[in-house]
Amino acid sequence: MARTHAGRGKPATRDLSNTDLGRSGAAAGGSPALRGYLATPQGEGPFPAVLMVHEAFGLDDITIRHADRMAAAGYLTLAVDLYSDGGARRCLVATMRALSAGEGRAFTDLAAARDWLRETGRTTGKIGVIGFCMGGGFALLLANDGFDAAAVNYGRRPKDPGEALAGACPIVANFGGRDRTLPGEAAKLAAVLDGLGVENDVKEFPHAGHAFLNDVETGPKVLRPLMRVMGIGPDPESAPEAWQRIEDHFAKHLNPS
């Protein structure tokens, strides 16, 4: 598996930059400094593609490992940095506002990243979207915007789910039963998707909390004791099954038959 900056063919580092992706973002009216991390499977391709959307803390080492994992499963995976134009301190509020409104620069950047993936000439034409936490909310809203499959991990439903999720692609979703930030969210989302006739596989893991797919704790260290109380953190017992569900879902809907 090759670990590269998107479009530049250099070894990946945490100092992400991408001229080509930034050009796409600017041309679309989004972030001129748009950047991302591209993880490429072994082999010649073409590959099914996955657009990955990070948690509220940003495109960190955890997200990079998530992208590497998807590439190892055979997917050309682009983890886009929604905080490209100023970092989390400057971009978090605006990004969350865009998520709440269902429109804004974050969606422009995600559309530019999706189109960039397709235009690489390295994909089969099939593309999925996966998100975690904040990114899970974005993945839900993108499920009816040109994607073939979506994986939503502890993402909140939109304000008007009936309208926002109508016509969505097949969705797999993972939630934690001990997640105090999203109580009962799995059942609520499943009910909405069933009502809309959207193919879905939603599961709540009873012993897991929020961010349970992460392999280490994330966020400011000073906040981590509170995060543990809120049911936020890794769960190595539940995570393997959740990851398998994601891989099975993408294999079903993204791999050529």
Q: All domains of the chain, ordered by start, with CATH?
A: 2-254 (3.40.50.1820)
pTM of the model: 0.91
Query: 11-21, pLDDT tens digit by residue?
Result: 333 445 444 78
Mean pLDDT value across residues 209-237: 88
The answer to whether the beta carbons of residues 172 and 246 sit under 8 Å apart is: yes
Token output for 86: 């100023």
**Nearest CA-CA partner of 70 in 130, 137, 18, 116:** 130
Query: 100-141, pLDDT tens digit by residue?
Result: 999 999 999 999 999 999 999 999 999 999 999 999 999 999
Amino acid sitting at position 126:
K
